[in-house]
Each structure stands twice: as structure tokens, then as C-alpha cells.
Amino acid sequence: MNFRKASALAAAVVALSLTATACGSDDGGDGAGNGGGGSGDGGGSTVTIGIKFDQPGLGLQTPDGDFEGFDVDVATYVANELGYDAEDIEWKEAISAERENMIKNGDVDFVVATYSITDQRKEEVSFAGPYFIAQQDLLIRADDEVTDVEQINDLNLCSVAGSTSAQNVAEKFAPDAELQEYGGYSECLTGLENKAVDALTTDDAILAGYASQDAHAGKFKLAGLELNPEHYGIGVPKDDTELRDKINAALEKMVEDGSWARFVETHFGPAGYEAADAPEITETD
């Protein structure tokens, strides 16, 4: 990547624009914003960022081709701090099972895609952050009840291949549950609605986004089980300490200037989801 030094004036513009517009959007939303504050040198440099395209509230491609969500705003803020304007960002879909490969192959510069930091993943890539803590939970139909972890062993679950949620089911709390692994959460949601599965399991922030969509109003609910904490990090190439440290500095600034809290309220507030406080950055070695 070609990092360009952002001026103090440009940084101020970023802070204002973050509260005014959604990334890549001209509709005046509350996200990270078009017209970001990277200084820009007119050289056409771009940054490629992997995000999710199908997670409402986190990373979602809208019908008009724009992108919105908490991860999108975080990624846009970080890119601005690295010297890139919003129009310099190329978004690529980061399917869960392909995130490490995308980073290692150079398909993206970094990944901001509900990417849980794990020791296994750190053997292949490095992380900045964390910038968010979620809890694994279940999304169930509105008239169902799951109140105990032991009940999960009797369920037909759905999760996404390559996700930590799927691994946790098999290895930690529900080894006897029947688990179906699909390519995306949208497929699991269809299965839940059609009663092909009993529950969708992943991070509560992701589940809250799906449950709050107008199309799903009244159909689903979170079980309210805190099954496993998930620390979201920004994936970077293995041992790229320079990029990691620059992103960590951007994340710290994002919390300090209030942008992190605004992003949380914008994208999780309408769903009634209460996010944990911004976590301490630990990925420094």
C-alpha cells in the first residue's frame, strides 16, 4: 500500500464527515462518510478492504450498490487515517472461509469483516485491534425458547463454514448438535425461516442485525445465551507490524474522538442491541 500523509485540516474534515454520511453513499446517512479526509495527492492510489456484503448492521451491500454497517464505518475511518479518501477504497467481499487466503494472496490490503482473533488464525495472518467484542448466541424463531446451553445438543443448528461459531459448536458447548455449515448467513436465515434448521448460531451483533431487518420483523429473536466471546480484529498480512501499528493508532483515535460510540449507536441502536464497551487494544506484539 502507498500511505499518504494526511494533513491536520483533512483529519478535521474526516471527523465531521464521519457523522454525516454513510460510506460510499450520497444519501446523507450517519456512517463513515463519502468525502473523507485523506489528504490525497491526485495520484490515484487506492486501498482494497475486505468486508462482509450480507451482514445488516455490520457489512451490507445495499440494492443501489453502496455499503453500510459498523465494520464499513470502522474500515473507512481507518482508511482515512492511513491517508485514503472514501473514493479511494475498493471493497471486496470477504467470505468467512476465504479471509486468510485473501490476505495472504494480496487480494486485499486488510480485512474488517467480523473477523474474530484466534490463535489458529494468527498462524497465517496478523491482527490489529480488537475493536469490538461480541458474544456468540442463537437466533431462533420468535415462538421458540432455548434457555439452557444443554438444550443446544438437541437442536439442528446452522452456521457458516470457516467461522469460529461453527468450531465452537463442535468443540466447546454442543458436540452432539446436528450442525449444517452453509456458505453465508443469509442461507442459514432462509433455513431458519423455512424450519429446515432450529437455530442460526453466530455472534450476537450479527444476529441482531438480521432480526432487526424490516423483512424479518417479528419472525426471529435472540436466545440471550452468552456462549463465547468474540474479539473482532482487523486482519493484515503476517508480521506486517508497520501496518498493524498504524491501524491500532487509528482505532485508538476512533474511540477517543467519539466516532466509535457514534458508529455503535447508528448501527446497533435501532436493533436494541447493547454493545460492550470499546475493548483495549492488545494486538501489539
Contact yes or no for 208/222 (Cβ under 8 A): yes
What CATH topology corresponds to 134-228? Answer: D-Maltodextrin-Binding Protein; domain 2 (3.40.190)
- Please determine, looking at this structure, whether the domain spanning 8-132+230-271 carries the CATH number 3.40.50.720: no
Whole-prediction pTM value?
Answer: 0.77
* Domain spans in the chain, listed from the N-terminal domain onward: 8-132+230-271, 134-228
The answer to whether 8-132+230-271 and 134-228 have equal CATH topology is yes
Statement: residue 149 has pLDDT above 90: no
User: What proportion of the chain, given as a percentage, has pLDDT over 70?
Assistant: 85
Q: What is the pLDDT of residue 32?
A: 38
φ, ψ dihedrals at 44, nearest 5°: 80, 15
**Cell numbers describing residue 117:** 482473533
Q: What is the mean pLDDT of residues 211-221?
A: 82
Q: E strands along 76-198, which residues?
A: 89-93, 110-111, 126-141, 156-160, 178-182
**What is the spatial distance between Cα 18 and Cα 125, in angstroms, rounded to a whole number?**
29
**What is the spatial distance between Cα 92 and Cα 70, in angstroms, rounded to a whole number?**
16
Q: What is the pLDDT of residue 128?
A: 98
